[in-house]
Amino acid sequence: MKTIFEQIIERTIPAHIVYEDELVIAFLDITQATEGHTLVVTKEPYPSIFEVPESVISHLFMIVKKLSLGLKKAFDLKGLNILNNNGPVAGQTVFHYHVHLIPRYQKDEVQF
């Protein structure tokens, strides 16, 4: 059974893709906790951080940095939460490694 994110990578289901290379893909989270909420996802369906090779995760976080600057330019954000849940007890719901970029605005009251 393919993960929902594999189906997005394969274009079987639609998503608003904002970045893609050979190792990672980034697209808007369907939920939009705040405007611009983006997921950065490994192309390989590693279930969680425990399985991701160091070379892949270092590349992914370089892209997290670039996309953080991109979000800062695109939106009038005042801050940014970078979040990664690993395992059901940590709140993970999609078992395909991903990092959340959640822009924060002056007046939003979202709690994580």
Contact footprint for ligand 5GP (CB under 6 A): 4, 15, 27-31, 85, 91-94
CA dihedral in degrees (51, 49, 13, 69; nearest 10)?
Answer: -140
* Closest CB 89 distance from ligand 5GP, rounded Å: 12
Q: How far apart are CA 53 and CA 67, in angstroms?
A: 21
* Closest CB 28 distance from ligand 5GP, rounded Å: 6
Q: How far apart are CA 14 and CA 78, in angstroms?
A: 29
* Nearest CB to ligand 5GP, comparing residues 6 and 68: 6
| DSSP-derived secondary structure for 52-90 | S-HHHHHHHHHHHHHHHHHHHHHS--SEEEEE---SGGG
Catalytic residues: 98
* Nearest CB to ligand 5GP, comparing residues 26 and 77: 26
* Nearest CB to ligand 5GP, comparing residues 68 and 85: 85
* Closest CB 31 distance from ligand 5GP, rounded Å: 3
Q: How far apart are CA 91 and CA 96, in angstroms?
A: 13
